[in-house]
Structure 1
Amino acid sequence: MDPTFIRTLAHAHQQVAAPVPGEALCHLAEQVMNVLFPERTEHPLPTEEAIAATLQKLQEHLAAILTALPMEPALADETATHLFSRLPALHQLLLLDAAAIVAADPAAQGQTEVVRTYPGFYAIALYRLAHALYQLKIPLLPRMLSEYAHARTGIDIHPGAQIGSSFCIDHGTGLVIGETAVIGTHVKIFQGVTLGALSVTKELANIKRHPTIEDYVVIYAGATILGGSTVVGSHSIIGGNVWLTESVPSHSRVYHRAQIHVTRTEDPTADFTFSI
């Protein structure tokens, strides 16, 4: 192997102040979820004391992770304490999300099934944890957590997005929600939807690039909504495969009109033509 190449790599390795424990963070997030939603675990905690002790241990673990960023120990402790103080509010938000999914999906058999098995709920839960870290201006960790959820579910939600309560993701595979997207309450989004930017030039990094979705909007599969000034008004329905780059008022119905022609023959072995 080329010694110069090895030397270059060695220099790069030496410049890393401390490895960021991304795997530990994701494991911690899973443990927090298990405490908040005992339906997810095979070993529910038996007493209030056990729950309090577990949360304290997880808070200390988060503080240890933060010191690897690096962050001063006192600030790491303060940040971890602040984040864990927000768990009651986070739990209430997630209960509303779970209830919204149960109410919207005829296949859902109840909260336990949604919490234990639905990728949409899982992606929302880890997004809300990552968003809490993002709001505290913690570098790197929020994105690591959101990418962990992305890898597991196929749902890509940037931790900077602002998402209101009672959020429902149905299926969700291929869903993309950008950093500056704003989503109101009681919004339902299906798989393959993109809430993206019209342009991805670096000069737009500090401005709103992604759309605003107001309350009680439904966005069906494959729709693409782009642009920081694009607003979908409340109580609107965006149909499947719509490409939208301009605002629509409240109570709008926006559909992609496709022409489908089907021909039929009595003899299935005969030649036939079709177009879509």
Structure 2
Amino acid sequence: MQSDLNILEIINKTVDQLSEPQSYDQVCHEHRLGEPLPSTEKLARIVNMLREILFPGYFGNTSLRPNTIKHYMGVYVDELFELLSEQILAGLCFTCENPEEVDFQERSRYAQSVASDFISFLPEIRRKLVGDVETAFVGDPAAKSASEVIFCYPAIRAISNYRIANQLLKLEVPLIPRIIAEMAHSETGIDIHPKAEIGEGFTIDHGTGVVIGSTCIIGNNVKLYQGVTLGAKSFSLDEDGNPIKGVPRHPIVEDNVIIYAQATILGRITIGKNSIIGGNVWVTNNIAPNSKIVQFKARETAFSDGAGI
């Protein structure tokens, strides 16, 4: 058993080690006094509020009626504007390389402008989500109603976060979109990078383990099952051996494609429209439109470019 003196020495030594700059220079963010930091708690509140706005009456504790919905929408949007402006500002400050040169008041006004621009896209985000819900309902015989899909299906939560994060990213908001996307990843097990481009009528059945990379392009009316990976095959390296970022390296999935469970699609390849990719297959070359790829026929399937999988 350690004596009180030994315990104190151990604690003091550990504090000294943890305070050495070389031990934390890669994992420490230094910020100016008064500079806001992104808050996962506040971002969670923003996401929950957006779900209330996008799906009125389904999330939160408010009982909406036709004669009260405009009032509550006004209250929600006002609060959303304040919270989102604050978190956008925090993201801008957090990623600023030369904070001492930044006009904080000007940056704050810019954050408010971006927040208002994002709010103007909410009707369009809702329109797309309505299509996603309808696709999930029509495509699943187990679903009894669209309400069940909204309440219960993890895909709707993940796709909602994606469409929110994707719009923020298009408005050049740093950091915050990735945090929102990773919240859905933690909540549902579905990993959709906010930079991916996904068309309308998108659905994921079951969903756990789905991965969609940052440079993926997905068309309209695409359906994925659990465990599908739309990933990168390899990374181009610079002369120093470091990965070159920003290069398209994930698949393009065209309209009306179905990809079944545990399929792995890698690299900047194209899955042609109206194709069906069976479960547990590994695809690294282009697939012609109207193809059907399954394990036992994989080597027999012909492609328009002569490539196999």
Into which bin does the TM-score normalised by the smaller protein fall? 0.7 to 0.9
- Report what 1:269 is aligned to: none
C-alpha distance in 1 between matches for 2:282 and 2:276: 13
Q: Name the % identity.
A: 37
* Aligned-pair Cα RMSD in Å: 1.9
Contact 1:22-1:141 within 8 A present in 2 as well: no
User: What secondary structure does 1:160 align onto?
Assistant: coil
1:79 aligned partner: 114
> How far 1:52 sits from its partner (Å)?
1.6
Distance 1:156 1:61 in 2: 25
CA deviation map 1:107-140 (0-9, x unaligned): 1111111111100111001010010111112111
Task: Give 1:178-257 correspondences, 5 Å limit.
Answer: 178-200=213-235, 202-228=242-268, 230-257=269-296
TM-score normalised to structure 1 length = 0.88
Q: Structure 2 unaligned runs (5+)? A: 1-11, 94-103, 237-241, 298-309
Which 4+ runs in 1 deviate beyond 6 A? 9-12
Q: Offset at 1:4?
A: 4.0
Q: Give the SS at the match of 1:58.
A: helix
Distance in 1 between residues matched to 2:257 and 2:42, nearest whole Å: 37
Distance, in Å, in 1 between the alignment partners of 2:285 and 2:145 is 37
- Which deviations, in whole Å up to 9, do the C-alpha atoms of 1:121-170 show, x marking residues without a partner? 11001010010111112111111011100001000000000000000110
Consecutive unaligned residues of structure 1, counting only runs of 5 or more, are 259-276
Match of 2:30 in 1: 15
Alignment TM-score, normalising by the size of structure 2:
0.79
Output one character per residue of 1:208-229: Cα deviation in whole Å (capped at 9) or x when no partner. 100000000000000000111x
Aligned counterparts, 1:39-58, within 5 A: 39-45=58-64, 46-58=68-80
How far apart, CA to CA, are the structure 1 residues paired with 2:195 and 2:164?
A: 11
Q: Distance in 2 between matches of 1:44 and 1:60?
A: 23
When residues 219 and 15 of structure 1 are mapped into structure 2, their CA distance, relative to the original with a 3 A threshold, is same
Partner of 2:189: 154
User: Counterparts in 2 of 1:114-153, with a 5 A limit?
Assistant: 114-153=149-188
Match status 1:107 vs 2:142: yes
Aligned pairs, how many? 257
1:14–1:253 CA distance, 2 compared to 1 (3 A): closer
Aligned position for 1:62: 84
In structure 1, C-alpha distance between the alignment counterparts of 2:292 and 2:253, rounded to whole Å: 14
- What is the CA–CA distance in structure 2 between the aligned matches of 1:44 and 1:181, rounded to whole Å? 39
Q: CA deviation at 1:53?
A: 2.5
